[in-house]
Amino acid sequence: MIDKIISEDMDRIKKTIKKDVFSDKKVLITGGAGFIGSWLCDVLIKLGSQVIALDDLSTGRTKNVDHLSKNKAFKFIKSDVCAFENKEKVDLILHMAGHASPDEYQTHPIETLQTSASGTFAMAELARKNDAVLLFASTSEVYGDAEIVPTPETYWGRVNPIGPRSCYDEGKRFAEALLMAYSKQYGLDVRVPRIFNSYGPRLREDGLYGRAMSRFILQALTNQSITVYGDGKQTRSFCYITDTVTALMLLTANPKAKSEVVNIGNTQEVTILDLATKVKEITKSKSQIEFYPMPKDDPKRRCPNIGKLETLVGWKPDVSFEEGLKKTVTWFSK
Ligand SMILES: NC(=O)c1ccc[n+]([C@@H]2O[C@H](COP(=O)([O-])OP(=O)(O)OC[C@H]3O[C@@H](n4cnc5c(N)ncnc54)[C@H](O)[C@@H]3O)[C@@H](O)[C@H]2O)c1
């Protein structure tokens, strides 16, 4: 059974997407059992697509898609995207497989690079054979510790190529370069959203995997110390999952997005200390906020310039930080 909050949120997304673009389309979603991938599976099934969710379950969870298992339009395949050979014709590929959490990718740097490099290469070849549209989940991390904030797509980035985050940053930068090469050399229809911190129900909360948002919520709900790195003045811009998924769907649907690299995110910049304080307030937690040394190469500020996305597909975030955070806390507390 699908959760009530998620179900209401799905209806909200559905209202903004034209059904006919996706109905009867066969869509491959890599990383389909993950946070964003599983939301895409749900929305596309609702819009009448046939969905193949591919996931190696390295961080994804079958419980994110179990409720779809009896649906004839849905198929789950457990496989590494790098080794996947698809025999079925697909119309769209939403390539979301990746290692998104800093703790997770720093523990598995080689797999992280392989998924971005070999995995994206495999998906580009599959898209070419099928004449399919390929949307690839890139990241704000390609900008590294940006000097221009809000950051536009024209900014080239300031990334440490051999630092602890490079397996993720440089992996995604390689994948972007690879897809631009496929676009130029073969005319492949690639679309590259750079996603800025997305959050909401199904974001994994547990220990090693937890990202700041989910880690703080879990710590607050269990009255453990909320662990802030540095002085907490570093910023992030948190985009609620319905806004992220709507933007991804609009980019997939709109031919004007062909060969484009586009930021997706919320423009409300929040310090990590503000996030910790807000989470404590909403959960009415007795947790103390504890400060730990800042990890190496952690970006100081992160906020997108979303002018390009607004012009291209007429998208603006719809869910405020307060509203999204309250929904997420409600979902986690269940
Ligand atoms: N959530 C965010 O804020 C955010 C921000 C920027 C970019 N992204 C990108 O969006 C994508 C989805 O992120 P998410 O937040 O849903 O993370 P997630 O970890 O919940 O989902 C990623 C999924 O990919 C799967 N996976 C990883 N390597 C794989 C492989 N080699 N073969 C098959 N499956 C594999 C994992 O098991 C997981 O289910 C990722 O590529 C991530 O880098 C996410």
The residue type of 76 is F
pLDDT at 207 over 80: no
Q: What is the DSSP letter of 270?
A: E
pLDDT band at 214 (very low <50, low <70, confident <90, very high): very high
Average pLDDT over residues 98-124: 95
pLDDT band at 208 (very low <50, low <70, confident <90, very high): low
- Domain layout of the chain by residue ranges: 4-198+240-266+304-319
C-alpha to C-alpha distances, 119 to 56, 74, 112, 171, 249, nearest whole angstrom: 12, 22, 10, 11, 21
199 is catalytic: no
Pocket test for ligand 1, best of 41, 55, 61, 241 (most atoms within 8 A of CB): 55
State how far Cα 232 lies from the chain centre. 23
CA torsion, ordered 223, 229, 233, 238, to nearest 10 deg: -70
Share of the chain above pLDDT 70, in %: 98
* pLDDT score at 258: 97
Rounded Cα distance, 262 and 179, in Å: 14
* pLDDT score at 210: 60
| Closest residue by CA, ligand 1 atom 11 | 96
* pLDDT score at 150: 98
pLDDT at 288 over 80: yes
Query: Is omega for the bond preceding 150 within 30 degrees of 0, making it cis?
Result: yes
CA angle (245, 194, 187) in 5-degree steps: 100
Name the CATH architecture for the domain at 4-198+240-266+304-319. 3-Layer(aba) Sandwich (3.40)
Pocket test for ligand 1, best of 62, 96, 106, 111 (most atoms within 8 A of CB): 96
User: How close is the Cα of 284 to the center of ligand 1, in Å?
Assistant: 31
Q: What's the pLDDT tens digit per position in 20-72?
A: 899 989 999 999 999 999 999 999 999 999 999 999 999 999 999 999 999 99
Highest mean pLDDT among 10-14, 94-98, 203-207: 94-98
Q: Among 25, 24, 249, which residue's Cα sits nearest to residue 130? A: 25
pLDDT at 109 over 90: yes
pLDDT at 142 over 80: yes
Rounded Cα distance, 296 and 224, in Å: 25
The residue type of 21 is V
Nearest ligand 1 atom, CA 36: 16
Residue where the block lists tokens 């961080």: 59
Helix (H, G, I), strand (E, B) or coil at 54: strand
Residue where the block lists tokens 């996603």: 195
Decide: 56 in ligand 1 pocket, CB within 6 A.
yes
pLDDT at 13 over 80: yes
For every residue of 290-302, which 3-state class applies, written as one string?
EEECCCCCCCCCC
**Structure-model confidence comparison of residues 14 and 187, the more confident one:** 187
Structure pTM? 0.97
Residue where the block lists tokens 């998104």: 100
User: How close is the Cα of 97 to the center of ligand 1, in Å?
Assistant: 4
Average pLDDT over residues 299-326: 96
Average pLDDT over residues 228-247: 97
Average pLDDT over residues 252-277: 97
Q: What's the pLDDT tens digit per position in 144-191?
A: 999 999 999 999 999 999 999 999 999 999 999 999 999 999 999 999
